[in-house]
Amino acid sequence: MTRIDFYTEAPDKLDVACRIVHKAYRTGRPLVIFSSDEAVLSRIDKLLWMSPAIGFLPHCYVNDPIAGETPVVLARAGDTPAYDDVLLNLDDAWPPSFARFQRLAEIVSLDEADKVKARARYRFYKDRGYEVTTHRVQEAAHG
């Protein structure tokens, strides 16, 4: 069953996303970043070219010819990534086919509207019997 982790109280969702991607990359875990919002994927694409500051995280869109050889891929609704290890959801709704992944990461910002959407995703997973673990981003950054 998919392991689901919610990272809450994130001052900047995309900054936290970059940290999650970096950790997965360091540990050799292929990762898929999902969003149905092209603007979000474009912003994370740009951030991954600058993060970490002394390098970049190798990534591409799922339909790129080198996607099968790239450890981080960006995916939209309808895409079928080759990987099923870690899925990072940057969408407002639960991602399609999330259950095929070993892990799912969700990030919740400090914004009230984002929290409401995250609570709906949390209930969706819990109602289907998934165990959900919550991590406070501020504690994780300091602890």
Specify whether the backbone of 49 is left (phi greater than 0), alpha (psi in -120 to 50) or beta: alpha
* Number of folded domains that form the chain: 1
pLDDT tens-place string over residues 1-12: 999 999 999 999
CATH of residue 99's domain is 3.40.50.10110
Phi, psi for residue 37 in degrees, rounded to 5: -95, 110
- Taking only Cα atoms into account, the Rg of the chain, rounded to an integer number of angstroms, comes to 14
State pTM to two decimals. 0.93
pLDDT tens-place string over residues 46-62: 999 887 666 678 999 99
- Structural domain span for residue 68: 3-142
- Residue 141 contacts residue 7 (beta carbons within 8 Å): no
